[in-house]
Amino acid sequence: MNRECIYLEWVDAVADSGWEETKKPELHDCYTLGFIVAEDDRAICVASVISKKESNAKMHIPKAWISKEIRFSPEAIKKAPKRGA
């Protein structure tokens, strides 16, 4: 299982149902932080929880929707100074 982490900023589509006046098109700015569990040329799959063999709470995001990404290893967080230290 890949242990690389990622922070993403991306735009998601908005869906409505029911009859209402359309005033303007809408999109939602989204922010995701998690573990990369799968990736190809078109999309990335990010999970919030991983074990040695499995993952949970996965989000599959099209790369065309991503505006910013920062990749890092969990070890970088472990090495960061602790509060009050």
Yes or no: say if 30 and 22 are a contact pair by the CB < 8 Å rule: no
pLDDT for res 82? 75
pLDDT for res 2? 65
pLDDT for res 81? 75
Yes or no: say if 48 and 57 are a contact pair by the CB < 8 Å rule: yes
Per-residue pLDDT of the chain (85 residues; tens, 9 = 90+): 668 999 999 999 998 888 988 888 899 999 999 999 999 999 999 999 999 899 999 999 999 999 999 999 887 776 767 777 6
Domain 1-11+29-73 belongs to what architecture? Roll (2.30)
Yes or no: say if 41 and 54 are a contact pair by the CB < 8 Å rule: no
- Chain position carrying tokens 């303007």: 24
pLDDT for res 1? 62
Amino acid at residue number 83: R
pLDDT for res 17? 87
